[in-house]
Amino acid sequence: MSEKGGESGGDIEITVKFGGRSIKVSVSADCTVKDLKSILQPLTDVLPRGQKLIYKGKLLVDDMTLKKSEVTNGAKLMLVASQGLHQGGGPILKDAPTRPISRTENDYKKTGKAVEVVVDKNRSERWKATGVIALSECNLKDIPDEVWACGSSARLLDISKNTIQDVPTKIGCLTSIQKLYIDANGLLDESIQWEGLTSLKHLTLLSINHNCLTTLPSALGALTSLRQLLIANNKLTSLPIEIGFLTQLEVLRANNNRIRSIPACIGDCGSLIEVDLSSNLLSELPETTGNLHHLKALYLSNNGLKSLPSTLFKKCPQLSTLDLHCTEITMDVLRQFEGWEAFDERRRSKHQKQLDFRVASSAEFDEGADKN
């Protein structure tokens, strides 16, 4: 019995209209609409559950084949992305920073008289005495020379929420710096002179969230004292294999990027306690993720994952938080893993207080996995 769409098993050419583009795809007429969505994910950066495919004004149903949906060779479909599931949206744009009010401006408000702007000549001394250089939201386009004069006295530098476009090699003169915040500056890949950062042998925290970085260099591996690497809300497509050298790293937050795969050497980061890879384009995790024996929290929501590393529950005996919202992973999949029961007990124990105030059914796994 023949149906529209051609012979069973035959390939058809279709065009999917999305975001002003025409995406041509060759698929089997017998594949389901859900299968087509999986094919379109890497081409559109939209998770399957965030896709709505429309043909001749009709919304296509996931479980139906293209043939039964009457999608024929040469058909033109429209893809509509649901809000919040269009991955890789890039950095969150900050509002224009407000300029801090100086002492002279306060005097003007009180007296109504114009006064000369007085530069605080003592701030360099304060920076050297405290080791804290706080320059967040100061309308800076460049890092002031006074910063470099602090040399080995500096322990923390915060230049977040400015419009700085150059982190020069001379940052290496801050030889004792331990924490560096350069979030929300609109930094591009070429904005950071990494040879300067690699001189910071005592750096334990590097925060470059909310910028426009698309890649991290191999030089990152030289920051072997790092314990926290915060690189969320950029446009990163991958992590360098040299991340495996960061054996003291405890916290990795790389959420809201465009990362498609994680290098196997992530398993060498044996000190990791918290990993946030949510809102990326991951379809799988390397098996070596199971080597993170100290891992306690793993956030994977809003990815195209369908399964987890087989040894995750067995080899990560401290894992108690697992966020799988908006992935393709189901409860049936999770129950097949060795160590699932022990993980579920840890999760229940951690959240026992909350569970005490809920109905009994809420004690089931609720970190995002569908029930079936």
Answer whether 31's CB lies under 8 Å from 65's CB: yes
- So what's the architecture of 122-363 in CATH? Alpha-Beta Horseshoe (3.80)
Tens of pLDDT, residue by residue over 296-352, are: 999 999 999 989 999 999 999 999 999 999 999 988 889 999 999 999 999 888 777
Q: Is the dihedral of CA 33, 39, 41, 43 positive or negative?
A: negative
Instruction: With cut-offs at 50, 70 and 90, classify the pLDDT of residue 149.
Output: very high
pLDDT 10s digits, 164-221:
999 999 999 999 999 999 999 999 999 999 999 999 999 999 999 999 999 999 999 9
CA distance 69 to 5: 9
- Six-digit token pair at 268? 């060498």
**Model confidence, pTM:** 0.72
- Sign of the Cα torsion 81, 85, 86, 89 reads positive
Mean pLDDT of the chain: 84
* Cα–Cα distance for residue pair 331/168, rounded to 1 Å: 49
Q: Could you give the 3-state DSSP secondary structure of residue 333?
A: helix
pLDDT of 266 > 70? The answer is yes
| Residue ranges per structural domain of the chain | 11-81, 122-363
Nearest to 105 by CA among 94, 114, 95, 93: 114
Q: What is the CATH number of domain 11-81?
A: 3.10.20.90
Position 100 scores a pLDDT of 42
More confident residue, 36 or 42: 36
